[in-house]
Amino acid sequence: METASRRIKPIIRLLRKRYPEARTALEFGDPLQILVATILAAQCTDERVNRITPGLFRKYPTAAAFARADRGELEREIRPAGFFRNKAKSIVGAAGRRVEKYGGVVPDSMDELVTLPGVARKTANIVLSAGYGKAEGIAVDTHAGRLSRRLGLSRHEDPDKVERDLLALVPKADWLDFNFLLVEHGRALCQARKPKCPSCFLKKLCPSAETFIAGEERP
Same domain, 161 and 78: no
Rounded Cα–Cα distance for residues 91 and 61 (Å): 13
> pLDDT at position 216, please?
57
**pTM across the whole model:** 0.88
CATH number, position 153: 1.10.1670.10
Same domain, 124 and 144: no
Q: Are 38 and 26 in contact (CB under 8 A)?
A: yes
Domain interval for residue 151: 4-22+139-217
**pLDDT tens digit string along 132-145?**
999 999 999 999 99
69 burial type by CB count under 10 A (0-12 exposed, 13-18 middle, 19+ buried): buried
Q: Can 9 be counted among the known catalytic residues?
A: no
Catalytic pick among 87, 122, 165, 177: 122
CA distances from 68 to 84, 96, 169 (A): 17, 8, 43
Catalytic pick among 141, 165, 174, 177: 141
> pLDDT at position 184, please?
96
- Report residues of the chain scoring pLDDT below 70: 1, 215-219
Amino acid symbol at 121: R
> pLDDT at position 210, please?
83
CATH number, position 84: 1.10.340.30
Nearest CA among 161, 137, 157 for reference residue 149: 157
Q: Can 172 be counted among the known catalytic residues?
A: no
87, 108, 132: which is the final residue of a domain?
Answer: 132
> pLDDT at position 218, please?
39
User: 147 φ, ψ to 5°?
Assistant: -70, -35
Q: Are 46 and 20 in contact (CB under 8 A)?
A: no
Same domain, 119 and 189: no
**pLDDT tens digit string along 196-216?**
999 999 999 999 998 887 765
Same domain, 124 and 68: yes
> pLDDT at position 219, please?
34
111, 132, 153: which is the final residue of a domain?
Answer: 132
Same domain, 44 and 126: yes
Same domain, 116 and 162: no
